[in-house]
Structure 1
């Protein structure tokens, strides 16, 4: 889509737009790069924030690791998009392609393997992209998600700020796009369990965590139903029923509705 001020205004509040304008004018945008339609940048605020937008996607698919949890997108994203309106960064896609084409295959493989060996997130994404099913269990994935709750506010049990769950949602999406619904369901279930078990320690940004929980629960139901296996549906219903009884009280209704939706979708799938 075209990057215009009007398009940017459509994805944020007026107050956030003004703050984003001020950030752009103050020169807070650093290290801005563009590969094809994806723009990444670092924006200085109370600390350095990473920003990513897709200029070809409706709404720009904005992502930022700041704790903003208000309506629309944050001022850091707005600042970057306004920079793209005034002074769009040069596309470095051709340069990247030239480097890749000229790279020695063995050296490239060695580099990739080294990065994959040390970066668990990248490794998961890579394996998902090449259509490998996940070898990680729900419990293993939950451990990494739970750690985010512990790291967010290590001195206190209570979590005051939003937590970025993008890496897990992106991983689940990658599996879904590859048709690996069982693997996607594993990721979604890990998110559901972690969010359910940690929800009572949340004190602030309730909408953020509620949206993440609903998104994970919906994804789990969709993936289990799409597989169309009776044993998978039975296991999932048992899991959801157990959570409705023993999980966070104010999430009980969500689990109960999920059971009904799963059974309905599974029935629809069996007739197709």
Structure 2
């Protein structure tokens, strides 16, 4: 779990590294915590930005809610990682373990239920973690994703800054890890549809939105191919992709076409007959 400056340098540009060094020197890291290998922090910039990194993962799996859309990690992430080079925050994992071990089961259940009742995102991830399939449709997921586009710049139709789709990708990944591929495919499809329909609103951060779209479409194809073991089900998915290729955003059509070709190949395999 050693963090070196060279490892940090590998995930950002030289210019961003310099800005991260300056942010660290200026004391812009307002709050920082570590549980096991996960570090969370608040970094002060034009506003307060939330940062998360995993010190045990190659490349640190950086996440920040800032609008940076350049190559590599942003200056807020870099500042936090540079802080961890020489001064990692104390691990609070043992404290959490002790608190959990000492808590009464009824108290834990009551606390968890209260949190789940008011946090839909947490509720979805909890149900996915314990092995429940989603009861939400593609359209229901799309409603919440589309709302994120509308809330980003409510006074104008145009979206200038990146949108954080982490909660849906994390949810899809949770379903995928639990072997609930159909549920994961539902989330991925909602993301792909929403990004396709809203791409005309995007005026900036194109790489961010294109990357999110590709990730969602790849996830959808992968989950459909794994979840469905008959040619008819694959054919239905191909029909969706073909329709999107002709009715969606023109410059994304090729991606839908390639995805349809990939699924057609799956349908021709003996295991799908």
TM-score (norm 2): 0.97
The equivalent residue for 2:84 is 84
The equivalent residue for 2:262 is 261
The equivalent residue for 2:207 is 207
Q: Deviations over 1:26-49 (max 9, x none)?
A: 111022000000000000000000
Where does structure 2 lack aligned partners over 5 or more consecutive residues?
none
Q: Write out the 4+ residue segments of structure 1 that deviate beyond 6 Å after TM superposition.
A: none
Instruction: Give the whole-Å Cα distance in 2 for the aligned partners of 1:64 and 1:237.
Output: 35
Tell me the secondary structure at the aligned position of residue 145 of structure 2: helix
Instruction: Give the whole-Å Cα distance in 1 for the aligned partners of 2:209 and 2:270.
Output: 30
The answer on whether the counterparts of 1:171 and 1:184 sit within 8 Å (CA) in structure 2 is yes
* C-alpha RMSD of matched pairs (Å): 1.3
The answer on whether the counterparts of 2:266 and 2:272 sit within 8 Å (CA) in structure 1 is no
The equivalent residue for 1:132 is 132
The equivalent residue for 2:240 is 239
The equivalent residue for 2:122 is 122
Where does structure 1 lack aligned partners over 5 or more consecutive residues?
none
Q: Deviations over 1:57-82 (max 9, x none)?
A: 01001000001110001000000001
Q: Count the aligned residue pairs.
A: 272
Q: Deviations over 1:221-243 (max 9, x none)?
A: 11101122333211111101111
Shift of residue 55, structure 1, vs aligned partner:
0.5
Instruction: Give the whole-Å Cα distance in 2 for the aligned partners of 1:2 and 1:182.
Output: 39
- Please show how residues 1-272 of structure 1 align to structure 2 within 5 Å: 1-227=1-227, 228-268=229-269, 270=271
Shift of residue 267, structure 1, vs aligned partner:
3.7
The answer on whether the counterparts of 2:31 and 2:42 sit within 8 Å (CA) in structure 1 is yes
TM-score (norm 1): 0.97
Shift of residue 245, structure 1, vs aligned partner:
1.1
Instruction: Give the whole-Å Cα distance in 2 for the aligned partners of 1:266 and 1:44.
Output: 51
Tell me the secondary structure at the aligned position of residue 32 of structure 2: strand
Shift of residue 250, structure 1, vs aligned partner:
1.1
